[in-house]
Structure 1
């Protein structure tokens, strides 16, 4: 009787170990399914366009935190949340809106080198969008849910998937990685501006900020666009050489730093990369929906960003800020 009990327990233990190994292997891969699952959630009608403030904003933040925890990403200090207030934009002449409370979500993957782990690569994407439109950023007069699938549910989903792969390979990191989901970008880069003015680490220790804003619409020529590659040593050459192994054709600009959250970092003399897959007619309209996302292409862009992080954070790659006109 006892022999049979221990024999069964032994085989059950082996089965659980096997399942655990498979789970870890699954988390190491960036998958089109998980990218889609994240975007489907973020763009759902229930989330009403992810406008800053209120219950929906809190729900989105909780979703991001839950996924960080699931991947094993640590909070920085005691909380994943960095709270700030956002003044909401209105069209000229319209009645001002009250400021709202919103959040940046910050995760940490610590590097392993005794000295280099004190330096950071920031990987960021904004999770907010335009709600039901009608504000100064909307390109449509329709009062309807602006789903923001490409802008920027794509960047948020990429952030979560790259975080999983970085955690699975964290032993290869020398520098540390801060993962930041920014709030209120559409209100004037408010989340990233708050972050750099209230940084959780000294700004001098942030060696590169990579921003993903609209990375879900890779075109037939496999063009991935970026500005700021000349703000760190050999950045242009590095970003060009990382493309072909992934069947990507990078369009690399040394300067052209503008338009999204990486600007806040560049203004503080921090090297940046602003990565996107190009504009489209659905930008800032209700028609920016999940059915138009190129998930196969988005996965390639995620792998490209992951490779960039591993080059910079996984080695003693020389980093210094280079100003660009």
Structure 2
């Protein structure tokens, strides 16, 4: 009897530890540190380094207990790479989106989906999208978008620890080849793994690592779902943030691909900076406590919408 009681206590302790899983500054830093390693060379599509990053994301998804769709965590596609004017076209690059999900618990609402996304690729050694005059220099992309990828991994882990609270299902996508023209998100929306009409909200994180002293979190698309503007303002304020909320202003990252399919979106970021698309976008400039706050904001957004019975539907914006 004593052994049985001890086993129950250990099991309960383990479950409690898992249920209390939290976003931490250390884990955010560890993720960004790996993603910006020199050997990962700027996470350029089609490279061995890019594949190494994919393996890292899949390993983390599995550790958090995310499910894979039929066919596994990778959604393969070929990317047409951007070139400088006058250059010969490059061969199509083999790359992929990395996708996992948590199934909701409501018999009806589990067939509705909230998507959380962030692109994991960057510019490699520069190329036509670089803002730097340095030739063949690694563009580390700590904010763009190792910060968003780290947030994706941390938020997915925390939501998995709260999966019993979810009525709707949540899909997590690390997009490939965003820097080549939103190619990963375009591919997913053209080859969706669930019915497009069942995706009720897509939240995209692109450059969420540089929260300023005013604690501004910028977002576009809050008017594309019912009550979105007021909801995002009030939730952000309650978390000691100063959200800058736009009803429209859908912007130019991966959420655009979803908006074009008539899906409600939120494009989240912490603002531009001089290091954008240069080799100087490095880990040392990331505001780790700030990114943790942004992660909590997005976690709470998904938790509240995925655990609610409220109807979610698309509202077009000018």
- TM-score higher than 0.5 here? yes
SS of equivalent residue, structure 2 residue 214: coil
Kept in 2: contact 1:138–1:285 (CA 8 A): yes
Per-residue deviation at 1:52?
A: 0.4
The whole-number CA distance in structure 2 between the counterparts of 1:286 and 1:84 is 27
Aligned pair partner of 2:51 in 25, 35, 58: 58
SS of equivalent residue, structure 2 residue 315: coil
SS of equivalent residue, structure 1 residue 36: helix
SS of equivalent residue, structure 1 residue 75: coil
Calculate the aligned-residue CA RMSD, in Å.
1.6
Does 1:24 pair with 2:18? yes
Aligned pair partner of 2:124 in 104, 109, 131: 131
Per-residue deviation at 1:55?
A: 1.4
SS of equivalent residue, structure 2 residue 273: coil
Per-residue deviation at 1:12?
A: 8.2
Kept in 1: contact 2:206–2:269 (CA 8 A): yes
> Normalising to structure 1: TM-score of the pair?
0.94
Does 1:140 pair with 2:132? yes
Q: Deviations over 1:110-135 (max 9, x none)?
A: 001110100000000000000011x1
The whole-number CA distance in structure 1 between the counterparts of 2:309 and 2:13 is 36
SS of equivalent residue, structure 2 residue 233: helix
Question: What is aligned with 1:176?
Answer: 169
SS of equivalent residue, structure 1 residue 195: helix
Kept in 2: contact 1:51–1:57 (CA 8 A): yes
Question: What is aligned with 1:264?
Answer: 257
Per-residue deviation at 1:312?
A: 1.2
Gaps of 5+ in 2: none
Does 1:160 pair with 2:135? no
How many equivalent pairs are there? 317
The whole-number CA distance in structure 1 between the counterparts of 2:49 and 2:13 is 35
Aligned pair partner of 1:296 in 262, 274, 289: 289
Per-residue deviation at 1:20?
A: 2.7
Does 1:79 pair with 2:79? no
Kept in 2: contact 1:87–1:98 (CA 8 A): yes
Q: Deviations over 1:152-193 (max 9, x none)?
A: 000000000000110010111111000000000000000000
Kept in 2: contact 1:311–1:317 (CA 8 A): no
Q: Which 10-residue stretch deviates more, 17-26 or 122-131? A: 17-26
Structure whose alpha-carbon radius of gyration is higher? 1
Per-residue deviation at 1:10?
A: 7.2
Per-residue deviation at 1:219?
A: 0.2
Question: What is aligned with 1:217?
Answer: 210
Per-residue deviation at 1:250?
A: 0.3
SS of equivalent residue, structure 1 residue 74: coil
The whole-number CA distance in structure 1 between the counterparts of 2:186 and 2:282 is 28
Question: What is aligned with 1:282?
Answer: 275
Q: Which 10-residue stretch deviates more, 17-26 or 33-42? A: 17-26
> Normalising to structure 2: TM-score of the pair?
0.96
Per-residue deviation at 1:56?
A: 1.2
The whole-number CA distance in structure 1 between the counterparts of 2:81 and 2:26 is 34
Runs of 4+ with >2 A deviation = 9-23
Per-residue deviation at 1:92?
A: 1.3
